[in-house]
Amino acid sequence: MQIDRFISIGDAVGMSVRHVRRDIPFLFRKLLVPSLVELGGKVLLVVAARMILEASLKTAGFPDLSAVLLVFVGIFITLPAELWLTMIQLGYVRQLVLARDSFEQAYKEVKGRWWQVLIYAVIFYFVFLFWVFLWTFFFAFSAIIAKASPITALVVLPLMLIMIALALVSLVVLLLPLCILFAVIACEDNGFWNVIARSANMSFKRLWLSLGFLLLSGITYAIIYFVMTSPLQILYAFFYYGDAAAGHRVSEASIPLYVQLIGSVWHSLIYIFLMPIHYLSSGFYYYILRTRVEGQDIVSGIDKLEAPKRALNG
């Protein structure tokens, strides 16, 4: 697909939904095997979580070694499968955004960057956890001081409002480059640090546009996810209500294991549709930034005009 017009963030999200809906048979074939591998790991994690939960509800409260072993085996299977799925989807993004002749060509060009995706994911999770713990500590410490006396409460309250603002700003700084990070990996041949710098530079140069894209794509993703998982949520609610009506303690143990396994299968099927939308909308937004920041559409137009001349010159 060659994008030959100026597109908006609404177009980026809408086009991603339409393209993924059109390409569902193709995506299902490409993503089925890694999704089944991932599902196998998730099943082990669900069984392990169930064993740990049931052990915690008993007097001893300690899971046996088999549950811990299942957790490690499940993670060992799930993470490589998710990485495999991600690289396939980035190949799909590269094919559409850069107008490659075939998926196989695009996937061949991008699959060697799996190590970048893995390191970026690890860095993000640790940085995000640090952000959560840091601000949790600050707010908890402020709350303790505020309880000491009415005077300290009056002093701490405006400080807490300032901290809330700082926490939100720091979260934006953390999340904003992610809106195109994986698209940059898919569409450009940059080194490790250049990808981060490029993502941050492009997204912050169009700060409000990037915030609008994050909001619109997040709302779209949430709506589709809610609609597609609503049957499962209704089923879960039925079991929760049954335990509550019987006077039993309501917890994850209220849901039978076979229903949790059905949920894992259902989520795996949903993500075959949802995740390509997420990555592809990011790819189309990357194209928007290229046109607005670097005039990529003008460069592409000049290349088209010069193509016949180059062909005649041999």
Amino acid at position 192, single letter? F
Look at residue 63 in the predicted model and tell me its pLDDT.
63
**What percentage of the chain's residues is helix, strand, coil (to nearest 5)?**
85, 0, 15
pTM to 2 decimals? 0.84
Q: In the chain, how many domains are there? A: 1
Indicate the pLDDT class of residue 6, thresholds 50, 70 and 90: low
Provide the residue count of the chain. Answer: 314
132, 134, 159, 198 from 168: Cα distances, Å: 11, 13, 14, 23
**How many angstroms separate the CA atoms of 98 and 314, rounded?**
24
- Please give the Cα distance from 177 to 171 (Å, whole number): 11
Contact status, residue 198 vs residue 181, Cβ threshold 8 Å = no
Q: Which pLDDT value is given to residue 298? A: 39
Q: Which of 69-78, 247-256, 300-309 has the highest mean pLDDT?
A: 69-78
**What percent of the chain has a predicted confidence (pLDDT) above 70?**
86
Query: Of the ranges 141-145, 191-195, 220-224, 247-251, which one carries the lowest mean pLDDT score?
Result: 247-251
- pLDDT, average across residues 172-196: 91
Q: Does a structural domain hold residue 158?
A: yes
Sequence-ordered list of residues with C-beta below 8 angstroms from that of 203, at least 6 positions apart, any chain: 176, 177, 179, 180, 210, 289
Percent pLDDT > 90 in the chain is 56
Residue 156 has a CB neighbour count (10 Å cut-off) of 19
Residue 195 lies in a domain: yes
Say if 100 falls within a structural domain: yes
Please write the tens of the pLDDT for every residue from 124-140. 999 999 999 999 998 88
Q: Which structural domain range is residue 284 located in?
A: 9-303
**What's residue 255's pLDDT?**
77
pLDDT digit string, tens, across residues 78-133:
999 999 999 999 999 999 999 888 999 999 999 999 999 999 999 999 999 999 99
How far apart are alpha carbons 184 and 173 in whole angstroms?
A: 18
Asked if residue 147 is part of any domain, the answer here is: yes
Q: Supply the mean pLDDT for the chain.
A: 85
Q: Answer whether residue 311 is part of any domain.
A: no
Residue 73 in any domain: the answer is: yes
